[in-house]
Structure formats: C-alpha cells, structure tokens
Amino acid sequence: MLVEENGGRMSLKDMPSHIGVGIEVVERAAETLAAKGHGQLINFSLITPLYLDFLMEEVYDDVSDQGRVPLSDLTNKYWLPLDYVKEVLAARMEDQLPAGCQIISNCIVTKTFSEREKCKVRGILRAVTKPVALS
C-alpha cells in the first residue's frame, strides 16, 4: 500500500500523482479505508496505525529524555490537532510510554519528573517558612 511505503502517513493531495487517478477517486478511497478501520483521515492526510506506532516511539524517546513534553510541541512537530494527539496518547499510553506517564495540563510527564518537581516546590516552601538570620 502506498501509504505504508511512506511511513504510514500521506497527504491525499500527493496520492493522485503516484497512482494516476483524480483527487476525487483518492478522496473516496481514503474515506472507504477510514470507514473500514484501515486508517484515519486527519487534516487531509491518511494516517495508519504504522504512523501512530512511529509517533509513539518518538514521544517515548522525548519523554524519556526530557521527563516532560508539551502537547503543543507534538502538534507543531507532526501537524496534528491537539484533540487527536490527546486521543492517540490516551489510547496508547499504557502500552507504549514509560510506566507512570500521565497527561497533566497539556503535557506528558513521567512519574519521576512529577516527583522531582514536587520535591523542588516542597524545598522552596520549607525554605520560605523557616526563620532567617539577618546578621
């Protein structure tokens, strides 16, 4: 399948030149494939589970390295709507991201990152509440 050869995502605008048919035929075929569960039409692109697996591998690497990845970065990097990114992440989070990852305030955070931030805040609050010698 042409879409699979292109990493699981392909714009419908690019397909007619590869196949040799009109855009109307491509649109109808893409809608049929999406209806049968072989992909999804998002932003005039056909996206297959292969692409979503690739996306999750990239997110896994980013969240493992940084501990926190804003969803806005993902939407800009992959040209996908925020709601769709959230939906994909929520559906695949348990199986394809590090244990303890969660979506908080439109960011994916690891459990370690979240605990580290809580400790920083706790340390700051303790420092503020103890008496300070001025001399």
Neighbours of 59 (CB within 10 A): 25
Domains of the chain: which residue ranges? Answer: 2-47, 67-128
Nearest residue to 86 via CA among 69, 100, 110, 99 = 69
* Segment 67-76, tens digit of pLDDT: 899 999 999 9
The span from the first CA to the last CA of the chain, in angstroms, equals 76
pLDDT at 1 (0 to 100) = 67
Indicate the DSSP class of residue 47: E
* Segment 92-117, tens digit of pLDDT: 887 777 778 888 888 999 888 889 98
pLDDT band at 77 (very low <50, low <70, confident <90, very high): very high
For 57, residues 6+ apart whose C-beta sits below 8 A from its C-beta are: 96
pTM for the model = 0.77
